Structure 1
Amino acid sequence: MKLPLLLCLSTLTLTACSFAGHMAKEGALSLTERSGREYFTLAGKLPANFKLQASAQYGVLDEEKCQVRNFGVSGTSTRTMVIQQNTALKDHPHSFSLKIPLTHHVGLCDSELYRVALYVTGHYGEESWQQDRHGGGIAVLDTRPEHAPMFDSDGSMELRGMCMWMFQVSRVYLQLSKLLHCSQPDENWSQDHDLSKRRGLGVTLGRDELAGKTVKLEIREDPQERPSHRNTWIQLPEGWKPCEPKPGGWMSCQDPPIFKTFEMNGQECTVYPNCTE
């Protein structure tokens, strides 16, 4: 009975040693982690109760130099390079400025920026679940595509985002909740009423022209709200009223509509946004 136990202990020891060795190697490599000297600046403005996450993603230049052992699984995988930055959440309109490196390095593993994922998060209440986010991004190619926007003479470029709240009765919390939808309006901050025809929040740029430049991102909160699904609320002079769905699982309102109450901030309501008529 002692031999299997010894083999088990031996296996555990080897596994622990292997894990310790792996962690020691990664710890040593982390000391060499560094960003390149060239970067561009992502700066802009956010509405009250909004924050931004910018996740810079890098592609390795030589996979052989960027292999990481998969602990617990045989083989290796290519190292993932991501630098994530977050702005603060404030109860008033505020500005931000983030430096996005164009290259990143760990040991002998070199990588280049290929995308900055943007996540705009808005809060519409004090509860932890009363928030939602919508994504966009800055794609980075080796050179700027022919029809991509150009930087101004001062080295800056404007990127606009309009974020609209879409309300619904949550099936999870059984009260009014909201979804966030962000899109890119034109230079006059106007856009198509049809959500499917709106442009996504983002732009494609060339890495060879980004060093030292500034992308100015301004996010605005659309004052107009709408239901998250068509024909689930009816708009009346006193506001939006939710209606009972059609029999058989259809989400759309019955005809004629049969209105129902909903809960909002601990109150039973008949109309949004004023709660009572």
Structure 2
Amino acid sequence: MRFSIKSPHLRALLWPGLLGLSLSACSSLSSLAGESFTLEGELPANFSLKAQAHYGVANGCDGRSQAKSFESGFQSDPQQYRFTIPVSYREGLCEMRLARVGLFIHGRYGDKDWQQTYDNGDLVIVDKLPEGAPTFQSNGTLTKQAECSWLFKLSTAKSRFGQIDKILTCKNAGAHLVHTELSNKVVSLSFRESADERPYMNGFWLKTTIGWKPCTGRWGTELEELCTEPPQFKTFEMNGRACTVYPNCTE
């Protein structure tokens, strides 16, 4: 049944109330916005962190999963980073809930584009913590430290064949987080760069008192090879120089 309000005096009395109800409904739709947690910590010089938060639909509406990215950028000195990451929010009528946060730890060891690489970490959102997983302290902070190391090898790329190439590997770069306990909490995840570099392949470089020397001789190739007895060594290129030992180049 339809009806209309013909009296202008009655319309004047009813419209403010109807408008108030409408604004109240709009306000309730956005009430879930603002639930968040803080991801913060320290990065070594020439490191950058990108956090990619992934969200799924939590209330059965016809919506798609989404992602939000946060990035610190590179700095030549150690830096502090701080990201405020939503735990849940509204997208129209859809209730979006945090599913996980992928971490991309970038490091650079030179000024060329190929002298950058990265390793991954992960903040896993769970309903219950795995046995032994650390929990939030009484002050609402979960503190962890990741250690990143450089692995070196001789490049096989044609454009830089025989030059020192590095791979980044980071341990302990992540955490398990309970979704219902995450709002307004702080995850403090700092990264430390190890000074101890080591070869990417075991047995292909020989450690001496003056540094690491790449072996050759078993197959006679131009790449580093498994060390023989007695060992034979080859030269390599680093920063435009012909070198015999890493990292000091010359003996």
Q: Relative to 1, partners in 2 of residues 1:248 and 1:80: Cα closer, same or farther, differing over 3 Å? A: farther
Residue 35 of structure 2: aligned partner: 38
User: Following the alignment from structure 2 to structure 1, what is the Cα–Cα distance between the partners of residues 115 and 89?
Assistant: 36
Query: Please, which moves more after superposition, 144-153 or 38-47?
Result: 144-153
Residue 179 of structure 1: aligned partner: 167
SS at match of 1:154: coil
Indicate whether 1:261 and 2:228 are aligned: no
User: Following the alignment from structure 2 to structure 1, what is the Cα–Cα distance between the partners of residues 46 and 82?
Assistant: 17
User: Following the alignment from structure 1 to structure 2, what is the Cα–Cα distance between the partners of residues 126 and 248?
Assistant: 32
User: Following the alignment from structure 1 to structure 2, what is the Cα–Cα distance between the partners of residues 135 and 245?
Assistant: 36
Residue 188 of structure 2: aligned partner: 216
- Scaled by the length of structure 2, the TM-score of the pair is 0.81
Residue 192 of structure 1: aligned partner: none
SS at match of 1:208: helix
- Output one character per residue of 1:195-225: Cα deviation in whole Å (capped at 9) or x when no partner: xxxxxx2211101111110011110000100
Residue 138 of structure 2: aligned partner: 153
User: Following the alignment from structure 1 to structure 2, what is the Cα–Cα distance between the partners of residues 90 and 245?
Assistant: 42
How far residue 36 of structure 1 moved from its aligned partner, in angstroms, is 2.5
Q: How does 1:68-217 map to 2 (within 5 A)?
A: 79-172=64-157, 173-174=160-161, 175-184=163-172, 201-217=173-189
Structure 1: stretches of 5+ with no match in the other structure: 1-31, 67-78, 185-200
Counterpart AA for 1:99: T
The RMSD of aligned alpha carbons is 2.2
Counterpart AA for 1:183: K
Q: Relative to 1, partners in 2 of residues 1:235 and 1:104: Cα closer, same or farther, differing over 3 Å? A: same
Contact 2:214–2:225, Cα closer than 8 Å, also in 1: no
- Partner of residue 58 from structure 1, selected from 48, 55, 59: 55
Contact 2:215–2:225, Cα closer than 8 Å, also in 1: no
- Scaled by the length of structure 1, the TM-score of the pair is 0.73
How far residue 256 of structure 1 moved from its aligned partner, in angstroms, is 2.4
How far residue 144 of structure 1 moved from its aligned partner, in angstroms, is 3.8
Q: Relative to 1, partners in 2 of residues 1:246 and 1:34: Cα closer, same or farther, differing over 3 Å? A: farther
Q: Relative to 1, partners in 2 of residues 1:38 and 1:46: Cα closer, same or farther, differing over 3 Å? A: same
Q: Relative to 1, partners in 2 of residues 1:233 and 1:145: Cα closer, same or farther, differing over 3 Å? A: closer
SS at match of 1:133: strand
User: Following the alignment from structure 1 to structure 2, what is the Cα–Cα distance between the partners of residues 33 and 258?
Assistant: 69
Count of aligned pairs: 218
Residue 201 of structure 2: aligned partner: 229
Report which of the two structures shows the higher radius of gyration computed on alpha carbons: 2
Contact 2:36–2:183, Cα closer than 8 Å, also in 1: yes
How far residue 247 of structure 1 moved from its aligned partner, in angstroms, is 2.5
Counterpart AA for 1:212: N
SS at match of 2:180: helix
Contact 1:58–1:104, Cα closer than 8 Å, also in 2: no
How far residue 64 of structure 1 moved from its aligned partner, in angstroms, is 5.2
User: Following the alignment from structure 2 to structure 1, what is the Cα–Cα distance between the partners of residues 166 and 83?
Assistant: 28
Percent of aligned positions with the same letter in both sequences?
41
Residue 71 of structure 1: aligned partner: none
